[in-house]
Each structure stands twice: as structure tokens, then as C-alpha cells.
Amino acid sequence: MLQAVAKTLSVASTTSSASRGVLVCFRSYCKKTTTKLRVSEVLSGAELGASVKVQGWVRSVRPQKANVFLHVNDGSSLQSLQVVAGAELNDPLLTFGSAVEVTGTVKKSPHKKQPVELEAAQIHIVGECNPVDFPFKIKERHGLEYIRQFPHLRCRTNAFSSLLRIRSEAAAAIHLYFKDNGFVQINTPIITSNDCEGAGELFQVEPSSPEHVEDENFFSVPAFLSVSGQLHLEVMSGAFSRVYTFGPTFRAENSQSRRHLAEFYMVEAEVSFTKSLEDLTKVMEDMFRSATEHVLAHCVEDVDLFHKHVTPGHRDTVDAMLKKSFPTITYTEAIDILNRSSETFVFQTDWGCDLKTEHEKYLVKHCGNIPVFVTDYPYDLKPFYARDNLDHPQHTAAAVDLLVPGVGELCGGSLREERLGLLRARLEEAGLEDTYSWYLDLRRFGSVPHGGFGLGFERYLQCILGVDNIKDVIPFPRFSHSCLL
């Protein structure tokens, strides 16, 4: 039938220009259209025989006499798409690392490791890459420490591209948890006049313009990069019963250790109408479980890469964390455990001392190598806003830390001091009453018992992936004497 119509149109086209237009339209209509797809879409469900266009970067090139085989990846999945092209499409510029655009037909792959492959009809080289100068070499497995030297290029490696996909999915999972549990997201400011932690490790914000007058503050008061969004969340907790924020925070700590960054991301939450630390620990534990289960379910290949090749055996630790409820011990019990142990610690373990990383990791192992909550810290160790337990002789605050395997402290939180008289006395003692007069107002106008916590997002990623250095779980690490890019 179609042949008869085509023949009729062909005859008609010799006598009429209008007919020639119809013929062109007919031929265009019958032509197979090309669909632009991501690599993950081709691998997971592209129709066999479909004409598709894929754009990405070459992960491997294997020329043969009759064909050339490519693996192309666009960052949408760990697995690359195999492209099979005739030898005539080979090009000296078709190298490891080059950017390409491939048009072809989806075919069933004869190999078990991949469901489909792309039979190339056309390969366009979008960006060249000299494989001699490129710091990552084909068929070599580069360690995280090596690729850290190239912050502008390390996203091209399998390990770091997997990390970034996991990081993206973990962030989405945390937002989803809070949304599903009735929390309102608050965008707390990055520039602030408050030192929430009281440690003084602040980056001051000043104009760089030559017109800036020395000793004149742009904001009329000294301004700093935020160390925490907690105080701003407390403002919002006077109108919303559940709020959270997720954003960058900054500490001017002169450290190049494996666990510190000058810029990192914090998940912080505040819950109103609560006098119980259990209300906070429940949110911490539920969020940890929810986010981790989501990541394990949605990033199977990427997580496996870390658990099999970067941190072998760590999956067992993660599974154990999800199977058991997190135990709770008091600070006093923690000190007793440390003092009864046969371990030799570098730092003292007297009651009243701050727990160090070595102490935290020992306590986690003592409790079965699963996350553990430590509550009721010495009052003098905690900031002015921590609620006074009014206990004697050991004066403690209603504060809690979540300690996790391999990392130590992951979350820190407390009930907030809602009693105006006690809070004013603490601020007066610290000489901060004028600075935090607005904070006292929160207790004067419709105050309620409340509490909250903060979770270090990079430390969370270290925990579930087993990564030893925090600089390997953030796209662009900033720390003392290092601010590349």
C-alpha cells in the first residue's frame, strides 16, 4: 500500500511543484527520528532498534581491524554504555577522556554484563583530550588521595563521580525525611553577627573594595560566616513546631586533620514543645536510618564500588547499624567505661573532661560497633543555651551526642534553656546579656520548651561509605592553607 502511494506521489511530482512538497513531507514523516537519551536511560530501558543520540565522555577505546569499541559515560550512572562503530568512524582524536556525541541504533548486547549496546552511525568529537597529559590513566585504579590533588578533574573518575551521586541522593533523602515528618525548611543566613558555638573560630566578613574605610563595619556591627543556623532556627521555633535547615557552615579552625574542614554542610533541626532528650534522639535515629536505607536502595552500584574497592568489608558495619536500635549511655557512664578499659588513651578521662575522638571511637566499639547516644554532659562543657539539669553534685546539661563507627561524633544537640531567669544568669556570667538581648526576648514572648541538634553531612557520608578522610566526601574541600579553585 505504502509503495503504491509513494509511486503515485513520485509520478505526480514530475508535473507539480506542490506535489514535490508533498513528497518531501512524506519522506520526512517516514524517516526514523533520533531521541537524545542519557546513558542510564539507554541501559535501563531503551527500545531495541531505537535511534538515539548519546553525549558523554570516553572512558575506554579499543580499536580493532573492522570495528572500534568505546565506553561512553555521562555521569548519570556508574556503568558506561558500550558503543560499537565501524573502523571508518575511528579518529586519532577519539581518545580516553575526550567528549563525544554518538548517534546510532540500540542493539541487544551479546555480553552478559550489559543489556544493550549502541551501534554507531555517527561519532562527533566535541572536546579533545590528550591522554598523555591527562592525570588519570586508562585501566589504572587511582586512590582517593591521588585524585584529591586534582579538584578540577577528579569528578571524571569512577570513585568520585559515584561519591557525588551518593551525596546528591543522600541530601534528597534527608529533605524527604523532614518533609514527610512535618518539618518546615528554613534558609538560615550565611552571614551573621552571632557566634553560636562560642568557640571564637569565626571567619569575619569585610568588603574588599578600596573604598572601604578601616574600622568601619559594612553592617554597622562585626559580621561573620555562620558556624551554625541553630539560633535562627530557635527564632523560627517560636512560630513553627518543627523546623530544619541544610546548608554550608564555616569554622576557622587551623587544622588539616582527616576530620576537619573550614567549610562543610550541616543538617540542623529544632523541635518545639518538648522536655525530653528522647524526642531528639528519636529524630536523629529515624533520620539516619531513613536516609541510609534510601541511599542503599537508590545508589546500589555506587555504594558497592566503595564497599568493595575503597573500603572492603564496610557494608557489614552499615548493615549492623541498621539492624539494631541505638543504645543510650550517660556521660558519667561513658567516663566509667573508659576508666575501666585496658586501653591507654592519650587524653585524660577524668569526669569533666571533653571526650576526644579516641574516646568516642572506643565507646562505639564497646557498645557493639553501632551508633550510641551519650547524654547529660557536664554543664560547663556546653554553650549558654543548653538546659541546666539542676542536678548535684555532678552538674550536667540536657545535651546529647550521637557517636558512630569510624567517625566519632556525628550529631550534637541539646534541650534549650527556656527558663528566663536561669538563661539571663548564664548570659550575665558570660558577659553576653546585651549581645543576646533578642534571645532573651524569645523566652519572654510565648516561649515553649524546645530542643534541637546538628548533623555534619560530610561525616555522615564518611560513616556510611567508610571513607577515612573528610576531604574525600565534599566536591571542593577548604581547610587551612588550602583553597584551590
User: What does the pLDDT read at residue 4?
Assistant: 47
pTM of the shown model: 0.90
Report pLDDT for 55.
98
Kindly report the number of other CB atoms within 10 A of residue 403's CB atom: 26
Which range has the worst mean pLDDT, 32-46, 97-111, 117-131, 175-189?
32-46
Domain map (residue ranges) of the chain: 35-127, 154-472
More confident of the two residues 17 and 192 = 192
Cell 557552615 maps to which residue? 249
Tell me the three cell numbers of residue 196. Answer: 553560636
Would you state the cell numbers that stand for residue 420, as one nine-digit string?
528566663
How many percent of the chain have pLDDT more than 70? 91
Structural class in CATH, domain 154-472: alpha beta
Q: How far is CA 135 from the centre of its chain?
A: 25
Three-state DSSP state, 394:
coil
What mean pLDDT is reported for the chain?
Answer: 90
Amino acid at 303: V
DSSP string covering 113-139, please?
Answer: T-SEEEEEEEEEEEE---TTT-SS-TT
Topology at the third CATH level for domain 35-127: OB fold (Dihydrolipoamide Acetyltransferase, E2P) (2.40.50)
List, for residues 26-54, the tens digit of each pLDDT value.
Answer: 444 455 688 999 999 999 988 999 999 99
The residue behind cell 544537640 is 413
* pLDDT greater at residue 320 or residue 141: 320
**pLDDT tens digits, one per residue of 388-437:** 999 988 999 999 999 999 999 999 999 999 999 999 999 999 888 888 99
Please report the sign of the dihedral spanned by the C-alpha atoms of residue 464, residue 401, residue 250, residue 201: negative
Q: Assign 479 to helix, strand or coil.
A: strand
- The SS3 of residue 221 is coil
Span 349-370, average pLDDT: 96
Cα gap 87→90, rounded to integer Å: 5
β-bridge pairing 99-108 and 116-127: antiparallel
Mean pLDDT (whole number) for 300-309 = 96
Residue 197 pLDDT level (bands cut at 50, 70, 90): low
pLDDT digits (tens, 9 = 90+) for 204-221: 998 887 676 666 788 888
Contact of 30 with 6, CB cutoff 8 Å = no
CB 375 within 8 A of CB 453: no
Strand order in the sheet with 184-185: 184-185, 242-250, 263-272, 450-456, 408-415, 399-404, 372-375, 328-330
- Is a pLDDT exceeding 50 seen at residue 176? yes
Tally the C-alpha atoms within 13 A of residue 444's C-alpha that lie toward its C-beta: 7
Specify the DSSP class assigned to residue 197: S
Mean pLDDT of all residues in 126-150: 92
Judge whether 148 and 472 are in contact, CB under 8 Å: yes
Sign, CA torsion 171/229/468/475: positive
Q: Is the pLDDT of residue 379 over 70?
A: yes
Which residues make Cβ contacts (< 8 Å) with residue 97, sequence separation at least 6? Answer: 57, 58, 129, 131, 134, 136, 156
- Across residues 71-86, what is the average pLDDT? 96
More confident call, 192 vs 27: 192
Q: pLDDT band for 267, please (50, 70, 90 cuts).
A: very high
Residue 5 has pLDDT above 50, yes or no: no
DSSP result, 417-466: ---HHHHHHHHHHHT-TTTTHHHHHHHHSS---EEEEEEEHHHHHHHHHT
Region 151-160 average pLDDT: 95
369 has pLDDT over 60: yes
Give me Rg for the CA atoms of the chain. Answer: 30
Cα angle value 441/444/450 (rounded, 5°): 90
Mean pLDDT of 245-274: 93
Strands (E), 274-383: 328-330, 372-375
* DSSP symbol at 322: H
